[in-house]
Amino acid sequence: MKVHIIGGGIIGWSTAWYLNQAGYEVSIIEKEANFGGCSHGNSGIIVPSHFIPLAAPGVISKGIKWMFDAKSPFYIKPRLNLELMQWLWQFYRSCSAKKVQEAMPVLLEFNQLSKSLYEALSQEPGFDFELEKKGLMMLFKTKKAKEEEESIVAAAAQLGLDAQMLTEAEVRQHHPGLEVDVLGGSFFPSDAHVNPNRVMKQIRALGQEKGITCLSNTTVTGFKTEKGQVSALTTADGQLIPTEQVVLAAGGWTARLARQLGIRLLLQGGKGYSITVPRQDKKPAMPVIFTEAKVALTPLKDQLRIAGTMEIGGLKHEIHLKRMEGILESVPRYFPEIQYDMPAKEQIWHGFRPCTPDGLPFIGKHPKYQNLILATGHAMMGMSTGPATGLLVSEMMQEKKTSMGVEMFSPLR
Ligand SMILES: Cc1cc2nc3c(=O)[nH]c(=O)nc-3n(C[C@H](O)[C@H](O)[C@H](O)COP(=O)(O)OP(=O)(O)OC[C@H]3O[C@@H](n4cnc5c(N)ncnc54)[C@H](O)[C@@H]3O)c2cc1C
């Protein structure tokens, strides 16, 4: 059976990978010539530790404070837009302890399933995406952030995930030869990291060797529908592509496409930035996230990636230099010996995290069309949970029992 996947990011390619394994004839359609989406310059951290959704108690008050600081890690551009208003309302409603408690075990299971799939993929001939299992360290400078980390570590313990609080001295022991200026840290030994650019390059190359076809530089603009089925895709260059099964995995752009099908998805693009510098002597021994600054440093094999910021301001490609300045200025506050000058604008990567208001992805069929599956909304965890999403979509298409419960990911929730 012929499947078309719209979007060539980690979600689209992982889905293509598992559908190809299940025997489907798979084509990816991608609007960019050089695969520009969010799945390339991200931090590459595989995060069982991120079992708390973005929408959680306390986030709104922090967010309001950050709104007035041009260098802060979080910004919502105020605008009169009905979808944004609805998204914010749902976000507000999702910031409840009950919703977070329900989501936590599901997100942990999702992340752990995906990590095990990355481990399996890394064993396949042709894959070498620098999977390293060194854990993730969250660093904090304030008592308030310490208390927050303590509650996350306690929640992790309840869920059976290994997590430890570290004193300043213990943090130093983990990063020999590096000056560290923190109050302490928390450590999640079962997190891992990959080089996202390598994951994407290799899954494309190996996928195509296995028979997945790919139409890049082709933008899907609409659909033809018949009797509750999507029967064809239309493209910006005038093609009409007949189809039997469709997966919508267009990241931050998915809501726009879904609208063409009369489906309303509350989704906002959360823009983030990164720079990648040649790796130097002074570097953390494993990925770290500064909890107050919300900045991540990932030591890749020959490079160091520094990433951060979440700007909810529409899918606009402009780079706000002040935010990148904020990211870079935070680094020496935690690691006084690591300092970088502002790079030229062209060296700053940006991507749009597809963010749902409740912090859970949309993965599932939609009752309006029998041959449509939605797979998006992975926000800060899409690189981690791409393989699990791909496997779940393939199981849904085959109408098999899924590897984990997916009710909470329903696009109809
Ligand atoms: C700064 C930053 C750091 C991050 N760090 C991490 C991390 O450490 N760990 C983690 O797990 N996640 C991380 N993420 C999140 C992760 O990058 C995203 O969740 C993930 O890449 C989303 O993948 P996707 O396939 O849904 O979207 P994308 O990668 O954006 O792919 C969607 C694709 O669809 C294409 N498309 C859109 N519309 C159309 C159309 N009409 N026709 C054809 N093609 C179309 C786009 O061009 C794009 O290539 C980070 C994100 C950012 C911004």
348 in the same domain as 391: no
Answer yes or no: is the C-beta of 288 below 6 A from any ligand 1 atom.
no
Q: Is residue 371 part of a domain?
A: yes
> Does the Cβ of 307 fall within 6 Å of ligand 1?
yes
- Domain with 238 in it: what CATH number? 3.50.50.60
The alpha-carbon radius of gyration of the chain (Å, integer) is 21
Mean pLDDT for the stretch of residues 272-293: 93
- Number of the ligand 1 atom closest to the C-alpha atom of 250: 34
Question: Residue range 208-223: average pLDDT?
Answer: 97
Q: What is the structure's pLDDT at 36? A: 78
Residue 288 included in any domain:
yes
Structural domain includes residue 107: no
**Residue 348 contacts residue 319 (beta carbons within 8 Å):** yes
pLDDT at 78 over 90: no
Instruction: Quote the pLDDT of residue 193.
Output: 98
Instruction: State which H helix or E strand residue 25 sits in.
Output: strand 25-29
Residues 139 and 184 in one domain: yes
226 domain-assigned:
yes
Of 8-22, 127-141, 252-266, 305-319, which range is least confident?
305-319
Q: Are strands 303-312 and 184-188 parallel, antiparallel or unpaired?
A: unpaired
Distance 166 CA to ligand 1 centre (A): 33
Q: Tell me what pLDDT residue 60 has.
A: 72
Same-domain check for residues 177 and 81: yes
Dihedral, 185, 187, 191, 197 alpha carbons, nearest 10: 30
Residues 262 and 402 in one domain: yes
Look at residues 315, 316, 325 and name the one whose alpha carbon lies nearest to residue 345: 325
Do 230 and 368 sit in the same domain of this protein? yes
Task: Select from 311, 335, 355 the last residue of a domain.
Answer: 355
Average pLDDT over residues 301-305: 94
Residue partners of 158: CB distance under 8 A and separation at least 6: none
Q: What pLDDT is attached to residue 279? A: 77
Q: Give yes or no for residue 381 CB within 6 A of ligand 1.
A: yes
In what helix (H) or strand (E) does residue 188 lie, and over which residues does it extend?
strand 184-188
Q: What is the pLDDT of residues 174-215, one digit of tens each?
A: 999 999 999 999 999 999 999 999 999 999 999 999 999 999
- 106 domain residue, yes or no: no
- Domain of 311, CATH number, reads 3.30.9.10
Q: Is the CB of 255 under 6 A from ligand 1?
A: no
Give the number of C-alpha atoms closer than 13 A to the C-alpha of residue 204, restricted to the C-beta side: 20
In a domain, 126, yes or no: no
Ligand 1 midpoint to CA 42 (Å):
9
CA–centroid distance, 169 to ligand 1, in Å, is 37
Task: Tell me, in angstroms, the distance from the centre of ligand 1 to residue 351's CA.
Answer: 7
Q: Which atom of ligand 1 is nearest to the CA of 257?
A: 41
Q: How far is the CA of 354 from the centre of ligand 1 (A)?
A: 7
Distance between CA atoms of residues 19 and 45, nearest Å:
25
Whether ligand 1 lies within 6 angstroms of the CB of 220 is answered as yes
CA 387 to chain centre: 12
C-alpha–C-alpha distance, residues 53 and 84, integer Å: 19
Strands (E), 218-324: 220-226, 229-235, 240-242, 245-248, 268-278, 288-290, 295-299, 303-312
In whole angstroms, give the CA distance from residue 281 to residue 178.
9
- With a 6 A CB cut-off, is 6 part of the ligand 1 pocket? yes
Are 255 and 314 part of one and the same domain? Answer: no
The average pLDDT across 87-92 equals 90
Q: Are residues 284 and 344 in the same domain?
A: yes
Nearest atom within ligand 1 for CA of residue 219: 42
Domain check: are 240 and 328 in the same one? no
222 — pLDDT class (breaks 50, 70, 90): very high
Q: What is the mean predicted confidence (pLDDT) over 214-230?
A: 97
What is the rounded CA–CA span in Å between residue 303 and residue 332? 18
62 pLDDT more than 80: no
Domain of 173, in residue numbers:
48-96+135-190+267-355
Is the pLDDT confidence value at 168 over 80? yes
The domain boundary, picked from 339, 355, 371, lies at 355
Which of 355, 378, 399 corresponds to the end of one domain? 355
378 CB under 6 A from ligand 1?
yes
Beta bridge partners of 222: 234
Query: What proportion of the chain, given as a percentage, has pLDDT over 70?
Result: 99
Task: Indicate if 70 and 26 belong to the same structural domain.
Answer: no
**Domains identified in the chain, total number:** 2
> pLDDT at position 281, please?
83
8 Å CB contact between 413 and 405:
no
- Whether 123 is in a domain gets the answer no
